[in-house]
Amino acid sequence: MFYCPVKIYETESLNDINIDFKHFGEKCLIVTGRSSSKRNGSLDELIGTLDDNKIQYEIFDKVVPNPTFGNIISGVEFIKETFFPDFIIGLGGGSPMDAAKAIGVLLKNPEYEVEDLYNTDLERDSLPLIMIPTTSGTGSEVTQYSVLTNEQTFQKRGFGSYGIFAKIAILNPKYQTDVPEDIAIDTGMDVLSHAVEGVLSIKSDWYSDAIALKAIKMVKDNLKNAVFGVPEARKMMMRASTLAGITIAQTGTIMIHAMGYPLTTYKKIPHGRANAILMPVVLKYLSKYTGKANKIISVFGSIDAFDSFIKGFVSEKLSMDDDEIVRFASMVVNAGHMKVTRAKLP
Ligand code: NAP
Ligand code: ZN
């Protein structure tokens, strides 16, 4: 089954697309990061459009990268002190968009605790969500996932629910003009990782493969120029990010994301960069089990060319002591990602 219920708009000006915000209500909560949306013009443009549409808004601008349970709770408490919103706009990278989804579920279901977000026996539907991504990375604007970190257990884990699909995603390449090189690399590697993992997932099908392989080719052709800030290449990475998000909405992510999470929480390696370090070795390993790996490798020509492509952006070596290896591995083997990885694992 292929399912993408999100209306996707691409524009260079919010006013050009005539979104009927009033359809969602009169009051809105904007969930965003601490500073980038103020610097890149996206917050000002959004506020201007909401003012024009006579929508009342409040701004929660305290979302941290890799949002924690505490971060989500403070967003919920912040808005409860002011008004109850009719809808929520997530503005920023994957972290604010994921936080918006979690806050949306907790406001819609006031009896829930944060842990309930993971309870698949519960309906986890959100207030209506609009997503405006400002990184080309997670594709969260078109996925039914939200990834949060439990700061007590240091566990980073996603929850999924069709109830947190956005109603609308608005893609605007202008917001990414000044993305620094390191963030363009980290997030670009996340795009590649989603598309690669989508192909290797046991849930992949003809439709998801068509989209994922297109995204992989777009990353190969555009990431270098995007990192240098070439506008057309940045626009293509923005589109690739959304395509890769549509892919993982069907397929999930596999062992690369599961292995990357402890590297982010414990070793402080940014999400996409952690995946990049793992990708060549996992692709090589899984190529023993599935011919589908060759579909990815053939985009680059060879596994060595794939490896070189990644090392052209991310060259750091990973160092872990024996204790870390055992701890991280025990988290990975229990992750749901392993069930969709196309391999017979030891
Ligand atoms: P992020 O954590 O949202 O943001 C990283 C940094 O980029 C922040 O410092 C942010 O600044 C800055 N930034 C964002 N937009 C910018 C812009 N236009 N110009 C300059 N700086 C900008 O990064 P992300 O990689 O997009 O999201 C990662 C999170 O998403 C992780 O928690 C990951 O696990 C999750 N994820 C979710 C999904 C999903 O489907 N839901 C999929 C994959 C990954 P500010 O903090 O000031 O905004
Ligand atoms: Zn990711």
pLDDT tens for residues 233-287? Answer: 999 999 999 999 999 999 999 999 999 999 998 999 999 999 999 999 999 999 9
Whether the per-residue pLDDT at 346 is higher than 60: the answer is: no
Q: Residues 53-100: pLDDT tens digits?
A: 999 999 999 999 999 999 999 999 999 999 999 999 999 999 999 999
Which residues have C-beta within 8 Å of that of residue 7, sequence separation ≥ 6?
A: 167, 168, 169
Structure tokens at 86: 């009719």
Residues, CB-to-ion distance under 5 Å, ligand 2: 190
Averaged pLDDT, 188-194? 98
pLDDT band at 150 (very low <50, low <70, confident <90, very high): very high
Which residue puts its alpha carbon closest to atom 4 of ligand 1?
Answer: 93
**Confidence at residue 32, expressed as pLDDT on a 0 to 100 scale:** 98
Residue (of 183, 249, 182) closest to 215 by Cα position: 249
Token pair 């070439």 is found at: 230
Whether the per-residue pLDDT at 151 is higher than 70: the answer is: yes
Averaged pLDDT, 127-147? 97
**Where is mean pLDDT largest: 188-192, 280-284, 316-320?**
188-192
Averaged pLDDT, 178-207? 96
**Confidence at residue 324, expressed as pLDDT on a 0 to 100 scale:** 87
**Confidence at residue 316, expressed as pLDDT on a 0 to 100 scale:** 81
Distance CA 7, CA 4 (A): 8
pLDDT band at 335 (very low <50, low <70, confident <90, very high): confident
**Confidence at residue 345, expressed as pLDDT on a 0 to 100 scale:** 61
| Ligand 2 centroid – CA 216 distance (Å) | 14
Q: Residues 41-55: pLDDT tens digits?
A: 999 999 999 999 999
Which residue puts its alpha carbon closest to atom 35 of ligand 1?
Answer: 94
Distance CA 53, CA 18 (A): 10
How buried is 12 (Cβ within 10 angstroms: 0-12 exposed, 13-18 middle, 19+ buried)?
A: exposed
Which residues, judged by CB distance below 6 Å to any ligand atom, belong to the binding site of ligand 1? 33-37, 40, 65-66, 92-95, 98, 134-135, 137-140, 143, 145-147, 175-176, 178-179, 183, 187, 190, 271-272
| Ligand 1 centroid – CA 92 distance (Å) | 7
| Ligand 1 centroid – CA 172 distance (Å) | 15
**Confidence at residue 155, expressed as pLDDT on a 0 to 100 scale:** 86
Q: Residues 297-310: pLDDT tens digits?
A: 999 999 999 999 99
Q: What does the mean pLDDT of the chain come to? A: 94
Q: Which residues pair with 274 in a beta bridge?
A: none
